[in-house]
Amino acid sequence: MASFQHSVSLDAHKCIGCTSCLRQCPTEAIRIRDGRAVINSSLCIDCGRCVRVCKHKAKRAVFDRISEIDPKYKWRIALPAPALYGQFEGLSEVGDLLQALLDLGFDDVYEVARSAEIISECTRRYMRKPDILKPVISSACPAIVRLIRLRFPELCDHVLPILPPVEYASRAAKQEALQQHPELKPEEICTVFISPCPAKTSYAKNGLSQTKSTIDYVVSMTDVYRRLSGKFGKGKNSAMKSKAGIAGVKWATSGGEAEGLYSDRYLAADDMDNAIQVLDAIENGKLPALEFVELNACPGGCVGGAATVENPYIAKTRLLSFKHKLPNYRNYLKVENKEPDFIPDDALVDNPLLDYVPPERLSDDRLEAMRMMAEIEEIYELLPQIDCGSCGAPTCRTFAEDVVKGECRMEDCVVLLKKKLQEGQL
């Protein structure tokens, strides 16, 4: 995993070391060193939370720009995430938004919501399989999937081995383009995902375990918003029509995916802290009766992604207002196979799905790791245990770990230093 490519990075010139992001990071990946934030890349899950809290715009989510798309691509297909539909005031028809994307210069649009409906159907089929581990955990949010790999090794086998909708959409869009335009060569077609978050960018760069992504570019929803805002609301009613149903569109909000399973025994949790609590509970065997667990790293689901513009709850209300204009479902799996739990290969991720990555490990030698742990405990007892963050670590506990790992020194604890000064020990 050394080569994992991140999409959240730091602009060192803008960072003032204010520590706001320090304690917000769910994996304790951030430290302040020499007055600036640094991210430990083996721990970062690209959840984008630090991007959201940094008032100084020092934490950035890295996206491609529409203007950077290579001219060798003759056919550029936009893949709008359903969260995009909730961003615009005055947008009354999804078709108007799709038309606006074409007007931006895309050659075609393939709605990710269409694929979400297919993935729901595949998931329903998967849930019928006899020997699967329950609860099944959604694989749609890449930040959650990465968190599970780093921190919940025993839950790796619970993760749904089916492609996230955006990947299915990218593949389906390319296939459709080749069929409709036989003059095109595969290498002339590109897919451009309009993403609510940096986690999806990391997914496109790194794939999911063994499965490589076919998405060529990931642009930020904010970027697209900037180009399109104010264009709607004048009753345009363009010729373009949405090809998705409301069931697919709802995937943008927490619970939307789970709802598509037609079962009451599901749980949907959003926001990182809630998601972590739920994962701990599953690992402790506390939720045995559940069939399915949908977890989203962002508040409200993808409508709360770090690259969205609108307040998640306003966006959600707008999305739901489309339910009067869209049918429930519009996209169905075409399979010859009559088995109720059959899933076509092209919807499945390659095995093994998830391998555990243990970046928290103090040492590969267990005895050495235990010795270090004993030292951490000793140092922790000496610390003030007030988690003030002045040392640059999010908690006194992580500071003790950093001291033992040799990344900082006891003297970096200012509270302890002050006490020593007052007591005349220095």
Partner 1 sequence: MSALTFHYDVDGQDFSSAGEASVAVKKKLRQMGFPPDVIRRCSIAMYEGEINMVIHANGGTADVQVEPDKITIILEDHGPGIPDVELAMKEGYSTSTEEIRTMGFGAGMGLPNMKRYTESLEIETEVGVGTKLTMVVKV
Q: Does 45 bind ligand SF4 (CB under 6 A)?
A: yes
Helices 272-283 and 142-151: crossing angle, nearest 10°?
40
Reduced to 3 states (helix: H, G, I; strand: E, B; else coil), residue 295 is: strand
Stretch that binds ligand SF4, among 52-60, 95-103, 206-214, 330-338 (CB under 6 A): 52-60
Q: Does 15 bind ligand SF4 (CB under 6 A)?
A: yes
For residue 26, whether the previous peptide bond is cis, meaning omega lies within 30 degrees of 0, is no
Q: Does 16 bind ligand SF4 (CB under 6 A)?
A: yes
Stretch that binds ligand SF4, among 94-102, 193-201, 223-231, 392-400 (CB under 6 A): 193-201
Q: Which residue is associated with the tokens 């204009």?
A: 325
- Greatest Cα pair distance in the chain: 83
| Least distance from ligand SF4 to the Cβ atom of residue 254, Å | 8
Which one, of 116, 81, 115, lies nearest residue 101 by Cα? 81
Q: Does 47 bind ligand SF4 (CB under 6 A)?
A: yes
Binding residue for ligand SF4, selected from 91, 119, 145, 197, defined by CB under 6 A: 197
Which one, of 198, 197, 312, lies nearest residue 255 by Cα? 312
Angle at CA of residue 145, ends 140 and 149, nearest 5°: 160
Which one, of 9, 11, 15, 13, lies nearest residue 29 by Cα? 9
Which of 375/407 has CB closer to ligand SF4?
407
The rounded distance, in Å, linking the Cα atoms of 272 and 51 is: 14
Q: Does 25 bind ligand SF4 (CB under 6 A)?
A: yes
| Least distance from partner 1 to the Cβ atom of residue 360, Å | 5
Beta-bridge partners for 392 = none
| Least distance from ligand SF4 to the Cβ atom of residue 121, Å | 20
Which of 127/199 has CB closer to ligand SF4?
199
Binding residue for ligand SF4, selected from 143, 204, 224, 379, defined by CB under 6 A: 143
Q: Does 356 bind partner 1 (CB under 8 A)?
A: yes
Which of 302/347 has CB closer to ligand SF4?
302
The residue with its CB nearest to ligand SF4 is 305
Stretch that binds partner 1, among 37-45, 234-242, 278-286, 415-423 (CB under 8 A): 278-286
User: Half-sphere exposure of 12 toward its Cβ, with a 13 Å CA cutoff?
Assistant: 8
Residue 280 contact, options ligand SF4, partner 1, none, Cβ 5-8 Å cut-off depending on partner type: partner 1
Q: Does 58 bind ligand SF4 (CB under 6 A)?
A: yes
Contacts of 107 (CB under 8 A, 6+ apart): 74, 75, 76, 77
CA dihedral 62, 66, 70, 73 (to 10 degrees): 130
Q: Which residue is associated with the tokens 């077609």?
A: 189
Residue 213 main-chain phi, psi, to 5 deg = -85, 145
Q: Order of strands across the sheet with 108-109?
A: 108-109, 75-80, 189-195, 217-220
Which of 265/418 has CB closer to partner 1?
265
Q: Does 219 bind ligand SF4 (CB under 6 A)?
A: no
Residue 285 contact, options partner 1, ligand SF4, none, Cβ 5-8 Å cut-off depending on partner type: partner 1
Which of 98/269 has CB closer to partner 1?
269
Residues that bind ligand SF4 (CB under 6 A): 8, 15-21, 24-27, 29-30, 32, 37, 39, 44-50, 53-54, 56, 58-59, 141-143, 196-197, 199-200, 296-298, 301-302, 305
Residues that bind partner 1 (CB under 8 A): 151, 153-154, 280-281, 283-286, 356, 358, 360-364, 366-367, 369-371, 373-374, 377, 401
